[in-house]
A and B are shown apart, each in its own frame.
Chain A
Amino acid sequence: MEFIAFAIATAVALQAMKGYTLTRERTLLYLNISFLLLGAGLLVDGLANLVVLLSRFHRNFIYLSRLGYTIDFLAQLVAYTILVVVYVQQTRTWSGQIAVAALPIALLESNPFTELILIFLLTYISAQTAINYNISRTTNSLLVFGAFASLALAHVFFLLFTVAPIFFPFAHISQLFGCFLLLGMLFRVNQTR
């Protein structure tokens, strides 16, 4: 599943790069970097899990899974933070900027679950994309909102997985669904005439 998500994230990054090459708009460059990071994190996590699986959970390789998860988490943290900063810059609300800067720190200090930080960032991005859909009412913006909302839900399931293993498949299905919504948006964009 990580490899499919990696391919879709890379496709979105390439589309953003194409746009940046044409227009030199910095928001597209940040979008490109953000999705490249997401893709890289997913690839590392996927490869780490694959090695652990192929080694039949040999104890010498178990640490790789944890390392892969950590790298994926850090990549996601940076990627979503970039997106949040871009949205905050676009809306230019200082109160929003302060809230964005303060909350992850508060979460880091008060909560052991790193997933909560990603949930917070993704919820903010989902809210911004929902506002965008509410104004533009286009199918593409609905797909992007759906994608980020699904990714946020996936991290809620990943968080719940720490208390109940049953949520693990739901997390992956939700993550994959979000990626497919982004893929749908890409197809629609490339059919634009």
Chain B
Amino acid sequence: MIPDGQAPAAIPAAKYRSQFRIFVDIMRVIQREGNEAKPTRILYGANLSHDRLVKYLEELKELGVIQESGSNEKVYGLTQKGVDCLNSFRKVEAFAGAFGFKI
């Protein structure tokens, strides 16, 4: 047995990611980077183009799930709302995964 949540999906992944899925991927990269992620790391980690990354980061800031810091170079971190959102998503992912649904 391997831990739940890290298991490969039973159903092949969708060809295109939904906007919500991209948001989650960005937030996961930030969390993986110790809650201090530079845009370049997010760009590679979430597999996004620069233009799309800028757009999504702005949207996430407006939603209040990430915050920007740093004067010379921008650094992004998750807010408490972002951490809660990511935890909720993990539960939903585990729930859907139990039925074999990929989200």
Residues of A within 8 A of B (CB): 15-16, 18-19, 22-25, 27-28, 31, 86-87, 90-91, 128-129, 131-132, 135-141, 143-144, 185-186, 188-190, 192-193
CA distance A24 to B96 in the complex (A): 13
Residues of B within 8 A of A (CB): 1-5, 7-11, 18, 20, 85, 87-92, 94-103
Are B95's CB and A87's CB within 8 A? no
Cβ–Cβ < 8 Å partners of B97 in chain A: 136, 138, 140-141
CA distance A193 to B88 in the complex (A): 9
Are B100's CB and A189's CB within 8 A? no
Are A189's CB and B95's CB within 8 A? yes
Q: Which B residue's beta carbon lies closest to that of A130? A: B100
CA distance A131 to B98 in the complex (A): 11
Cβ–Cβ < 8 Å partners of B87 in chain A: 193
CA distance A91 to B11 in the complex (A): 7
Cβ–Cβ < 8 Å partners of A135 in chain B: 8-10
Are B100's CB and A192's CB within 8 A? no
- Take A25-B96, A28-B92, A143-B98 as given contacts and tell me if A192 and B10 are in contact as well, using a CB distance cutoff of 8 Å: no
Cβ–Cβ < 8 Å partners of A25 in chain B: 18, 96, 101, 103
- Take A27-B96, A27-B101, A138-B2 as given contacts and tell me if A192 and B9 are in contact as well, using a CB distance cutoff of 8 Å: no
- Take A23-B89, A90-B11 as given contacts and tell me if A140 and B101 are in contact as well, using a CB distance cutoff of 8 Å: no
Cβ–Cβ < 8 Å partners of A137 in chain B: 1-2, 7
Are B10's CB and A131's CB within 8 A? yes
Which among A86, A90, A135, A136 has the greatest number of chain B C-beta atoms within 10 A? A136
A12 CB, min distance to chain B CBs, angstroms: 9
Cβ–Cβ < 8 Å partners of B88 in chain A: 18, 22
- Take A22-B88, A24-B18, A188-B4 as given contacts and tell me if A128 and B100 are in contact as well, using a CB distance cutoff of 8 Å: yes
CA distance A95 to B63 in the complex (A): 44
Q: Which B residue's beta carbon lies closest to that of A140? A: B98
Partner of B7, one of A87, A138, A144: A138
Partner of A138, one of B4, B18, B90: B4
CA distance A193 to B31 in the complex (A): 13
Are A131's CB and B100's CB within 8 A? yes
